[in-house]
Structure 1
């Protein structure tokens, strides 16, 4: 495999995480960046940035990936099934490194996947990459949950508008988290160190924190006490498991962050 990696195409650069990844790569001035965008997309990007439109057919993707050293996939839940198509096109185009859309809890750990079955699809993509790694190297970046996004959206259990918090098992479980900007910088570092990061999971975090610590910081910042709802994990897990089996894929959401944090979801143990 020839290094270094200079020409990089980002798939999903307009999303919550993708926009921060794009910013990190452009700020590094170390790569030639291309963005892959669907034909139907109305997303806009900085002036001067190379943007290739694709209908996601095999030939279209191969054409887009020609001359690229690395492909970074930052597709959301709805795009996971397309990643094998991206990998096949990358192989055909002679790409050297593929980074799948991981960026979360440790999908390599079967305990994590048992609690959050939606992650099985991510693991399947890494398994597919392992089958091809003699021709296409890969890196799976595990970051823990997105802290700033999770705090703003309520995913971590805190409602910033109503000053209410849902606290799981006393809020003392530590979890590794990463900011969106940190994930972007980590991806830059991965591609700047290709030989050290090839064909493996790479684990990063911004910091380790508990819900209790977050609540304390929020109460200090807002100058008022928050309304707290305490929730026990075990009944919640049973209920969510049944809902998931019944087809409700929203059943496993933010609470899983903290359950996984009990020695399972932490990326630094």
Structure 2
């Protein structure tokens, strides 16, 4: 049976803003679409406007807290589109969803494959690992409960940001790794399209994993593409994994969690573990045609001020 009663957590966030509109575009194929708003956190005027727009297009706004089963009741599946700050809450959210009768869960798994190399032990993925372990425990105890891992490498729009050592404003980059190293990217809008396709693909097992690829791009290709779009020469330097590890150690000593996470992710990138291994599931949904790196970045940089604001740059 397809998953057609959907509650989206983080509907106004980076990925939620793409996923909910795609659900709306295909709303005739769904029984219920809900956008969850956390009443324990203040809502900005911008996010309130987004929620109002959803309402006019037939989306149900669900207010509550992550610990309140009443807010989750009546939904078949919960999709967590959460930022890094909220990833640690996922095990508790899963318990709330289960108590409300939810039968399927999409964790905020978006990103690299945790099973590649030593990703499982990296600080950056700690909360995702805890969530995976909890999902396995819950599924073993509850045969009616299932979950889906959606893995896509990196979102293309988020790839050229300071977190990964790239500064679009100054056209400089300090990259952990080597010029020829590749990473897997997928446009956020294409990820949303693929995710909706997976909802309509009836689960046959408690655990399932989808891998979707837009393209594998080397740093050489990434920066030549940016130079072509922006019309300026980039200054790019490369540093060792050991340097990133040292930065991570210093961040731990100083208690700077954001710097610790960034350094951990740069270690992952510098050891080639942001490259998503196949086979990929694109072929299962040929109706989705992934756009190219150049297309995505050309479109987003047509309005640099808006893009920088969206990315918090």
State the TM bucket, normalised to the shorter chain.
0.7 to 0.9
Alignment of 1:87-236 (within 5 A): 87-109=94-116, 111-114=118-121, 116-133=122-139, 134-151=143-160, 153-195=161-203, 198-236=206-244
In structure 2, relative to structure 1, the CA distance for the partners of 1:110 and 1:174 (3 Å cut) is: closer
**SS, match of residue 251 in structure 1:** helix
Alpha-carbon separation, structure 2, partners of 1:232 and 1:214: 19
Alpha-carbon separation, structure 1, partners of 2:211 and 2:195: 11
Instruction: Give the TM-score taking structure 1 as reference length.
Output: 0.87
Aligned partners of 2:241 and 2:267 also within 8 Å: no
Aligned partners of 1:167 and 1:230 also within 8 Å: yes
1:184 Cα offset (Å): 1.1
* 4+ long deviations beyond 6 Å: none
Alpha-carbon separation, structure 2, partners of 1:209 and 1:70: 34
Alpha-carbon separation, structure 1, partners of 2:225 and 2:207: 39
Aligned partners of 1:108 and 1:123 also within 8 Å: no
In structure 2, relative to structure 1, the CA distance for the partners of 1:213 and 1:197 (3 Å cut) is: farther
Name 2:291's counterpart in structure 1.
Answer: none
Residue deviations 1:26-46 (CA, integer Å, cap 9, x gap): 112222210111124423212
Name 1:24's counterpart in structure 2.
Answer: 22
**SS, match of residue 129 in structure 1:** helix
1:156 Cα offset (Å): 3.6
Aligned partners of 2:176 and 2:267 also within 8 Å: no
Name 2:38's counterpart in structure 1.
Answer: 38
Residue deviations 1:177-205 (CA, integer Å, cap 9, x gap): 22211221121122111325751332222
1:110 Cα offset (Å): 5.8
**SS, match of residue 195 in structure 1:** coil
Name 1:77's counterpart in structure 2.
Answer: 84
1:155 Cα offset (Å): 3.3
**SS, match of residue 205 in structure 1:** coil
Aligned partners of 2:119 and 2:268 also within 8 Å: no
> CA RMSD for the aligned pairs?
2.2
Q: How many residues align?
A: 260
